[in-house]
Structures are given as structure tokens and as C-alpha cells.
Amino acid sequence: DSVYFRDGVRRIDFVLSYVDDKDGDKKLRLFCAFDNHIQHFPTQKYLPLQESDDRKTYYLKIHAPWEVLATYADVLKIKVPFKASDIPKAREVPLEWLTHPFRLPDNIMRPEPDYFTAPFDKSKVDFFLIDDKDTFFPPSTRNRIVYYILTRCPYYKEDRKEKDKTGINRLLNNGTYTSAYPLHDCKYWKKAQDMQCESERYHLYRYWARFLCFYKEQPLNLIKKYYGEKIGIYFAWLGFYTEMLFFAAVMGVICFVYGVLSYEDNITSKEICDPQIGGGIVMCPLCDKKCSYWKLNSTCLSSWEMEPYLPFPSKCARFCLSGATVLFWTCLIVACIMGVIAYRLAVYAAFASVMKDSPTSKIQLVGSLITPQLATSVTASCINFVIILILNFLYEHVAIWITDMEIPKTHLEYENKLTMKMFMFQFVNYYSSCFYVAFFKGKFVGYPGNYTYMFGKWSKLRNEECAPGGCLIELTTQLLIVMAGKQMVGNVQEALLPLLRNWWGSRKGRSHPESAYSRWEQDHDLQNFSQFGLFYEYLEMVIQFGFITLFVASFPLAPLLALFNNILEVRVDAWKFTTQFRRPVAAKARNIGAWEEILNVVAILSVVTNAFIMAFTSDMIPRLVYLYAYHPGSEATMRGYITNSLSFYNISQIPESNLPEAGENPSWFNSSTITTCRCVSAWREL
């Protein structure tokens, strides 16, 4: 199971695989051309082929000797140790023993001593701490150097130079090679028997990737050493973000518990639920024809308070096409949201008709719990979530295509452009429905005789009204369904799908003795870690960050749900990287890139959105005005707030087109005795 060859103990730094399907001469010519360039690359050694069990797949095992590593370490300015660190370790602090259960062994947290480092210089080899040239460069650095060489190695003929025919990635895209990957160092479930082979993968699995280690600190130094800085920074950021969620979750729980405990003191909710007060208030119909008059106490439960250089013309044309494509997909999202809103308006009347007061209606058994508003909101939120998943799947490929078309000069520029496009799209896709409920629903309704319609009166789709308790409960429902649904779907995709794919791909290998199932074949059967692997991990967390900040005023428990999800997310990602994916090529990184600016913008925007939710979506300000300016008697009280906040309207003045059809009114409605109805929205507009 060693990643070394027995003859001379030479390390396998990279593996290329191809399938001998005897299909076409062009593929064979490309392979031979690239093969010749690798063999003649200065000082690079090339190891023999290894045929697989299926008699079709061949593996090219590449070993980089010291001269190659030293040359390119100098080119890439890779930092290496030149002196042991003499900085004294921090003293133990009082009560440090309390943190011992959360700590990992020191050899896992610090897999190598602390050193002062400097960029490698081949001409000053004696300056650096080189005990053994075979182990001086860690595996992550070795595979990074080999990948750098492979991505720049040409495959054109010597007498016919074509600059675009360069690099292993193009050969992977056109099918000449099937895969290119560095090897894991050993099995993850047991240590390597060969003492010359590292067991870092085993240590990562034992101390980091198992869910039972969820309360332990992360071995960030070992992660960086094994996977490289870029992946190490991702897990460091994810761990820090999860720790900070703990404090937000505590505050959210305190707010939620306070709201539950203070419900008995909530006079407004009691008045709505009181059969004498709320039960005596007749409300105007919420839609035309199919909606009947209704009593305020029917919404009792929903009233609780839950708070490369291109010519300019070519570049211009590409950017115009890119911008037009992004604009088209953004408009498509808006159109889908409008469709969901139209669904809410049209289906509300159907729910109201089915759930009306009727002794033969079976749904009447839960009519006090499921109101037309709640039923419409839940089903619309579920439909909206399905649309979100479909549009995300489609736009993912479009965003990659238009970013490729712009031809960024560097990989970092490519990632930043793709990051901005994907986040802008997903921002609109995930949050637009929440913005609608928070800031638009119930704001443009009108009043009896002058209602506002979505597409004009011809559409007969009256704009939605909020419940007497406000739109916060509906915003909470929308947020909970989309946020929780996204997290569940994401965890299934991240954990279950790779497991099933690997089981299916390695089913033949498991039928043979373990000694015949080589390290390179085992890794070949694992899932490929694409260049967008970390991109989707960051995107998932940033979208979650938006949910718990932009609308937290409506759902204080959102940080708690995010905390539980992220505790699982850290271990799922760790398990996936360690057991289900091929070893990624190590990459350098200084920070989390464009995501940092996006997080800053979302954090600033969240201050504005939460202030607007408190000011316009909730009825906190009208309540305070009533409490201190319009309360009855000398004592500040909320008694009478509901009656005071609802406007009266004479039923005889309601146009025929807005009245319920014959037979739609409930049995308790008597037109001779009930001459007025009340409205939620009218007092706000008047």
C-alpha cells in the first residue's frame, strides 16, 4: 500500500491514466506526442506503465527527482525552512485544563517543528535545513511542482509548434487521458506498514474526519501539510465561522425563549384569540368572488410574535454577450418569482373555498391550525425552493461558459469573475422570495372599492395582504423552508452521492485480493476533486451567511440551525476529502479571495434589511406609538390595539365585483345584522 516503488524506494508523485480503447488514430498521436515531451523534459524521470485489472486502463506513474524539484521550487519561490524557531512557547493560562477534552495530540496539531522559512534558492542549497533530499519537500509541494510542469508541457510535434496544444488539462478535456491525480499516502482506516510511507491520511481520518470528533479542534497544520494552503485556509475559515455562530445562536435562543415565555403577557395576541374580541370582529374578504367574510380569531396561531490580451472590439463583444447572458438569467429568476406570486394569489381563493366553515369539510378538523394564508405560503415556498434548485443547476454551466469566454489572464482572475457571477445569480435566486415577503407583500393592497391588482383588474389577481399579526410569520416560513431545504439537499449531495458513486466505481476492485488492488487503482476509483471543489463549498456557506444575517430579525433561531449544520458540515467535508475524493493538487492561497468582499457587503446590507424589517414588515413601531400615545386611560397598555388598528368599511359600499359569490359566505354571516367589515391594510394606506 506504499506510494513508493520497491526498486530504489522512489516516490510516486503523480499518476496519469488512459484507456486503450483503440478508438481513433488522432487520440493515439496526441498521447505519443505528450509522452515524448515528458520523457525528454530536462532531468525528469519517467517510470514504467502499470496495466490495470480491466486490461484497458493504463497508469503512468511520475516521479520527480531532486533536480526537478529544486529547479521548480526556485522558479515558484516555494518557502522552505532554514532555521529552527527559537520563539518561546506561550505559557499555560489558568484553567487551561478545561480545554483538554477539545484538544488533539500535539504530534497531530503540530506534525513538524516550527521553522523560520525563506523562498528556496537552488544556488544556496547549503543555507537550508536539508537532512534528506527525498523528504525535504513535503508531498503537497511535490505534487504541486509536478502539476505545474504537466500543465505547461506541450504535445505538438517539434517541426510544427502550436502554442495552444499545451498542458495536461487540454488532453484531459479531449479524452486523451482519463485522469491525472496525486496519490493518497496510505489507507485511511489503518496505518501504513512501511515505515518510509507517511500515515497522514490515517491521522486525518482518525482525529478529524469522523463525526465523533465534532467537538475537537481541527488539525489545521496537518491539513495544510497534506492538502496545501488553499484547502487549509478554507477549513480554518469554516471553523472560525462556526465558532462565531455559537454566540449568535445563543442570542437567538434567548430571544426565542423570551418570546415564548412572554406570550402570556402578549395582550395583542390574546385579543386576537379572544372569542369575544377577535371572534366578534368580521373581516372583509381577502379575494374577489371566492373568498368570504371571516373572523379575526381564525388567525389566532399566526398572530404570535417571532421576531490573455484581446483586441478591444473582441473584448467589448465578449463582455457585452456575458453581461446580456447574466441579465437574461436574472430576468428569468424575476419572472419565476412573479410566477410564484401569481400562484399565491390564484391558489389563495381555492384554499379559502375549500377551508371555509362547513360541517361536511374534512379539513375543518385542522382549520384552526391551517389557515388559507399559511397553506398558500407553505406550498408557494416549496414550489419556489424547487425552482431555485432547477435554476441553480442550469445557471452553473452558463456561468462557467461565459467566464471561459471572457478569457481571464490568470486562474485567480478566473475564480474571482466566476465567484461574482455565481453569487449575484444565487443572491437573486435564493433571497428574492424573502425580499418579496419582507418588503412588498401587504404594502400595495388598496382598500375595499379600490383594490390593487397584480397585472391590472383584468387579471383578477388581487395583491396579497398580510395577516393581522403582520408578515413576519410568513417570512419565517419562507426562510425556514428554503434555508433548511438547501442544507438538507446539500448534505445529501456532499455525503451520499460520492459514497454511492465510489461504491459503484470500485465494485470490481473489491472482488479481488487486496494485494492486487493497487494504490493508484484505489485512488483512480475515487471521485475527482475538480478545480471548482472549494468554490461550491464557499458558495454554500456564503449563501447560508446571507440567510442568518439578512433576515435574522424574523427568525432568531436561524443561527442555531446554521450552527448545527456547520458542525456536521466540517466533518462531512473532512470525511469527503479524506475518504471519497482523490487527493487534490496542492495550491497556494493568501486568503479566501473574493468571498471576503462579498461577506463584507452582505454584512453591511444585513444591517439595512433588518432595520427595514423592524420598521416596515413588523408592527413594532405602530405598537409603540399606540402604547405611548393612543392607549386608553392613564396607564400605558396595549389593550384595544387590535380594534384601534383595524379600519371599518361599510359592506353596502363594496362593489359587486369584490363581493363573495352566492353560497361562499359562512353560516354565521347574516347580511341584515352585519353591516360593516374590518380591513388590515386600509388603515396603513389611509
Are 194 and 2 contacting, i.e. CB atoms less than 8 angstroms apart?
yes
Q: Among residues 278, 275, 276, which one has the least CA distance to residue 303?
A: 278
| Predicted local confidence at residue 486, as pLDDT | 82
Q: SS in 3 state form for 456-468?
A: EHHHCCECCCCEC
Q: Could you tell me the CA-to-CA distances from 179 to 15, 32, 58, 478 in Å, in that order?
A: 8, 16, 11, 43
Return the SS3 of 580: helix
Helices (H), 355-443: 372-405, 411-439
499 Cβ contact partners less than 8 Å away, ≥ 6 residues apart:
580
| Predicted local confidence at residue 369, as pLDDT | 53
| Predicted local confidence at residue 2, as pLDDT | 43
Q: Among residues 38, 30, 34, which one has the least CA distance to residue 13?
A: 38
Beta bridge partners of 649: 677
Domain residue limits, the chain: 245-623
- For the stretch 394-421, pLDDT in tens is 766 666 666 666 666 666 777 777 788 7
Q: Give 257-261's long-range contacts (Cβ < 8 A, gap of 24+).
A: 259/304, 259/305, 259/306, 259/307, 259/556
Return the SS3 of 59: strand
| Predicted local confidence at residue 177, as pLDDT | 84
Residue 329 grid cell: 438569467
For residue 431, the one-letter residue type is Y
- For the stretch 603-650, pLDDT in tens is 999 999 988 888 877 777 777 777 777 777 777 777 877 777 788 888
| Predicted local confidence at residue 564, as pLDDT | 92
Q: Would you list the DSSP string of 1-27? A: --SB-TTT--B--EEEEEE-----HHH
Among all chains, which residue has been given the C-alpha cell 508541457?
153
Return averaged pLDDT per consecutive 10 residues of the chain, 686 residues in all.
46 83 55 59 52 73 87 91 82 73 87 88 89 86 90 70 72 84 86 74 92 91 92 94 93 85 67 76 78 75 48 51 59 66 63 53 45 67 75 69 63 75 80 80 75 72 69 80 82 80 67 66 84 84 91 88 91 91 89 89 91 81 78 76 80 82 80 82 43
Are 430 and 486 contacting, i.e. CB atoms less than 8 angstroms apart?
yes
| Predicted local confidence at residue 5, as pLDDT | 43
- φ, ψ (nearest 5 deg) of residue 4: -110, 150
Burial (Cβ within 10 Å: 0-12, 13-18, ≥19) of residue 48? exposed
- φ, ψ (nearest 5 deg) of residue 381: -65, -40
Q: What is the pTM of this model?
A: 0.76
Residue 505 grid cell: 466505481
| Predicted local confidence at residue 1, as pLDDT | 43
Between CA 31 and CA 45 the distance in angstroms is: 18
Between CA 241 and CA 533 the distance in angstroms is: 19
Return the SS3 of 178: coil
